[in-house]
Structure 1
Amino acid sequence: MKALTIGKLARSMGLATETLRHYERLGLIYPSQRSAANYRLYGDEAGQRLRFIRRAQALGFSLPEIRELLSLHADADADMGRVKAIVQQRMAQIDARMADLQQLKAGLMALASSCPGHGATQDCPILAALTREPQA
């Protein structure tokens, strides 16, 4: 890929230019050079880093985690154990979130099973449960 302006790079990656500016402010991407008119120009490495960022975001990594992963990726002498630790930490966060969602689902199931599903809403046990004061 030849050097692209921020707008062209954003379009080629399906992102908003403001997203790229945000990534640049965070140090996730950076221009490889400047044009004669002093426009920032981005090369192949920026495109590769953007693909990395998008894939990592799809896996639920935060931007600070992605910055660290990019840093580790760029350091040939870095220990891959740190990369694995970041992934394991993310998996633990997912496990905790899944447990929370299971509790939410159980609560909703209990509410749904208490409701006959017909009749006036003034007699709805779900609405009554949502209205009640929490028990100590």
Structure 2
Amino acid sequence: MRSGELASAAGVNVQTLRYYERRGLLPQPRRSPGGHRDYDSAAVRLLRLVRAAQRLGFTLDEIAALLGAHSRRQPSSGLRGRAREKLREIDGRMAELATVRDALARVVDAECDSLTHCAEADCPLSAGELAGP
């Protein structure tokens, strides 16, 4: 299949497809006698896999490393370990978001309508817990 067909089938645009090729996430395809790129069905699966990994929070560099390990036929690509790291990162972000959510709920409950007034009054924001060091 050609570039446009592959991009459509995988749910990406052609520019993304070319970018993934330049990054080495997608192998260079065969060329037709006329010079057109000719992809097989494995390219669709690979693109979908890359997109799914991105949705899980993996960066393109991390995905490239995982795909590189797979392409070298290593017995372990490290996916499980990297997934554990992502889980720890997400747990940390969720804890931070819970803190922010709780502070916002206290602002709403305290009926703070002015940031300036809030700084002078007994407002949850003036406690400084979110201000950082």
Q: Normalising to structure 1: TM-score of the pair?
A: 0.78
Deviation at 1:129, TM superposition (A): 5.4
Which of 79, 90, 102 is the matching residue for 1:83? 79
Structure-2 change in CA distance of 1:20 and 1:131 (3 Å):
farther
Q: How many residues align?
A: 123
Q: CA separation in 1, counterparts of 2:91 and 2:46? A: 28
Q: What is the SS of the residue equivalent to 1:38? A: coil
Unmatched tracts of structure 1, length 5 or more: 116-124
Structure-2 change in CA distance of 1:93 and 1:12 (3 Å):
same
Q: CA separation in 2, counterparts of 1:63 and 1:131? A: 43
Q: Normalising to structure 2: TM-score of the pair?
A: 0.79
Q: What is the SS of the residue equivalent to 1:95? A: helix
Deviation at 1:130, TM superposition (A): 8.1
Consecutive aligned runs of 4 or more in structure 1 exceeding 4 Å deviation: 133-136
Moved more, 38-47 or 69-78: 69-78
Q: What is the SS of the residue equivalent to 2:54? A: helix
Q: CA separation in 2, counterparts of 1:112 and 1:89? A: 35
The answer as to 2:12 corresponding to 1:15 is yes
Tell me which amino acid in the other structure corresponds to 1:36.
Answer: P
Unmatched tracts of structure 2, length 5 or more: 121-125
**Percent of aligned pairs with the same amino acid:** 32
Aligned to 2:100: 104
